[in-house]
Structure 1
Amino acid sequence: MTENTGAALDLEALRSFVTVAQQGSLAAAAELRHRTVSALSMQIKRLEQRLDARLLIRGPRGVSPSPAGEALLQEARELLRQHDGLVARLTGQGLSGRVRFGMPEGYAPHLVEQVLPDFLASHPNVLLEAVTAPSGELARRLERGELSLAVALDRPHQLTNGETLWQTSPVWAASREFRVADEAPLPLALHPLDCPFRSLGVEALESQGRDWYAVFTSTSIHAVEKAVEVGLAVSILDRQRLTPRMRVLDEAEGLPHLGTSDACLYFSRRIAAASWPAVEALAGLLRQRLSGAGPWAANSREARPLALG
């Protein structure tokens, strides 16, 4: 049998392509890869010639993968993961570096219990630092370079190049005994201003011209849920977080339709080159566990699923 080596791909070119796609910028990727922008461009060009496809599209805010590039991106990540794992096993040299990971409080229990321990078990030499904060605060920390990557909703910030993991299902939640008064301002239990669900709810009410006031404000998802359960106020929760003591309020009761929000994986543009493989390894595990339906699907054995806070 004749070996077919004509279509062999350059692994370093694939690594550069993945970094450019994630960073959305040739300059940022070049810094991470310790290469010049021209050298990185040549790698991408040779990869495009080898595959006879355009992989990147230039736009006013940087570069993004073409349809062919999106297809390659998924395969390239898996190929590089397997390659790096093989090298680590054979040489005894695992990943190292520092990974600073941000997540909203609402699904931190799932990540802390199942995802993060698995990551550290596979990469014991990695220094992992995990923090919780609302999505808006996570976005600011990413921009300041205080985090390596984060899972956050796609609002109320202006971050770009996020990878969608799943779509949330926000609903108006109230206790089973709560009744909406037609003319009275709506009492709300809310997270702080950085919370995306707060933004969705307030925007919907203001577009309807409906008055509201904050009865209860807390950074704790559990405290907000308790305020709803006891009938103190209405809140905006992911449908998956509703308890037996709650019910959904809808347009039939005079409340406006709520939009949706995507839970996305975001990378910092200031990741040290030595830490990049470890950051990508954690990102790969998050994609594996959360893509499609979020943490509640991955943790379906629990009596009560988790949602985004």
Structure 2
Amino acid sequence: MLALPPGLDPDLLRSFVLIAEGGSFTRTAQAVGRTQSAVSMQIRRLEEMLGQPLLLRGARGVEPTLHGQWLLERARRILALNDEILASFRQPEVAGEVRLGSPDDYAVRWLPGILARYAASHPAVQVEVTCAPSNELVERLGAGELDLTLLSEGNEPPGGRVRWLWRGPLLWVGTEEVARRRPLPVTLARGSCAWRRAAIEALEGAGMPWRMAYSSASLSGSLAVTLAGLAVTVAMPSPLPEGVRRLGAEEGLPELPDFGIGLLRGPASPVAEALARHIEESFRTGEALEAA
């Protein structure tokens, strides 16, 4: 009888993904509850099984090789599906309604994939989504009108226990020609948006002359203005529409700070906890960001 080749062990893939994302065997060993030598052995087993080196030590710690980068993208999807299957069979049936808040920009990028996967594993739950600026969503959560909400860093309430899902840089986006105009024409969200504050503080701190050319309630509106060649704006790393690109020091623009995306919960309930875990897992595995 023909022997079948061995399959990929999810435990090996999970250790590989954690190392590739975090650049550390030590932190990965702590996360998976194993010794560092045991994790190293896991990676050797995986490399022997696949016949290619997957990780290399570089200037920034441990980094994936070209084969490792190829595997990383697929391992995230395998682990997400593996965890979804286990959760579906192990967790008791959850039913009811949950009210989720999200800024418009996050809703467009991530919620379609997140909610589709959640509906597949929790078909008896109805999700009601409210889109609004982060500060308004935090207020509505405090008033009991939402069960949980995504929010941008800088809008978290005092003493609020925020679960940070992702952290990365803000970017200037637009066209090179517009970015070299002085005063710099800028389009930003209205009100107390954290991105608006970060952009203005960076421009003022650099002593750069600028003017508020347009304002919008969402990133989509700001991008429309940049596509028209009227101003630059700020955005997070993600696919951009054709016609605009990332801008920076080469165009004379000041560096922008990192920012975080968080999840804030209201009073606990089974349906809200189930959705919160699903959102956290989507970001942890990279599934949410890959869908952007």
Alignment TM-score, normalising by the size of structure 2 = 0.63
Q: What is the CA-CA distance between 1:112 and the residue it aligns to? A: 4.1
Q: What is the CA-CA distance between 1:180 and the residue it aligns to? A: 1.4
Q: Which residue of 2 aligns with 1:251?
A: 249
Contact persistence 2:226–2:244 (CA under 8 A): yes
The number of residues matched between the two structures is 212
Provide the secondary structure at the position in 1 that maps to 2:255: coil
Contact persistence 1:204–1:258 (CA under 8 A): yes
Q: Which residue of 1 aligns with 2:145?
A: 146
Q: Which residue of 2 aligns with 1:100?
A: 99
Cα distance in structure 2, aligned partners of 1:219 and 1:128? 24
Provide the secondary structure at the position in 1 that maps to 2:101: strand
Question: Could you tell me which of 206, 210, 213 is aligned with 2:211?
Answer: 213
Q: Which residue of 2 aligns with 1:163?
A: 163
- Aligned ranges 1:1-309 → 2 under 5 Å: 86=90, 88=92, 94-159=93-158, 160-181=160-181, 184-268=182-266, 271=267, 276-291=269-284, 293=286, 295-297=288-290, 299=291, 306=292
Structure 1 alignment gaps of length 5 or more: 1-66, 73-78, 89-93, 300-305
Aligned AA for 1:238?
M
Provide the secondary structure at the position in 2 that maps to 1:263: strand
Aligned AA for 1:172?
W
Q: Bigger shift: 212-221 or 286-295?
A: 286-295
Contact persistence 1:170–1:239 (CA under 8 A): yes
Q: What is the CA-CA distance between 1:176 and the residue it aligns to? A: 4.2
Cα distance in structure 2, aligned partners of 1:145 and 1:293? 30
Instruction: Describe the superposition over 1:175-210 as per-residue Cα deviations: whole angstroms up to 9, x where unpaired.
Output: 2432413xx322111112242211210111122233
Contact persistence 2:174–2:244 (CA under 8 A): yes
Contact persistence 2:176–2:247 (CA under 8 A): no
Q: 1:216 to 1:111 in 2, by over 3 A?
A: same
Contact persistence 2:156–2:162 (CA under 8 A): no
Q: What is the CA-CA distance between 1:227 and the residue it aligns to? A: 0.9
Q: 1:148 to 1:224 in 2, by over 3 A?
A: same
Cα distance in structure 2, aligned partners of 1:83 and 1:221? 35
Give the alignment's Cα RMSD to 1 decimal.
2.9
Q: 1:123 to 1:296 in 2, by over 3 A?
A: closer
Alignment TM-score, normalising by the size of structure 1 = 0.60
Cα distance in structure 1, aligned partners of 2:135 and 2:198? 13
Aligned AA for 1:141?
R
Q: Which residue of 1 aligns with 2:63?
A: none
Q: What is the CA-CA distance between 1:260 and the residue it aligns to? A: 0.7
Q: 1:252 to 1:124 in 2, by over 3 A?
A: closer
Cα distance in structure 1, aligned partners of 2:252 and 2:139? 35
Q: 1:208 to 1:115 in 2, by over 3 A?
A: same
Structure 2 alignment gaps of length 5 or more: 1-26, 33-82
Instruction: Describe the superposition over 1:223-251 as per-residue Cα deviations: whole angstroms up to 9, x where unpaired.
Output: 21121122100101113243341233323
Identity %: 30
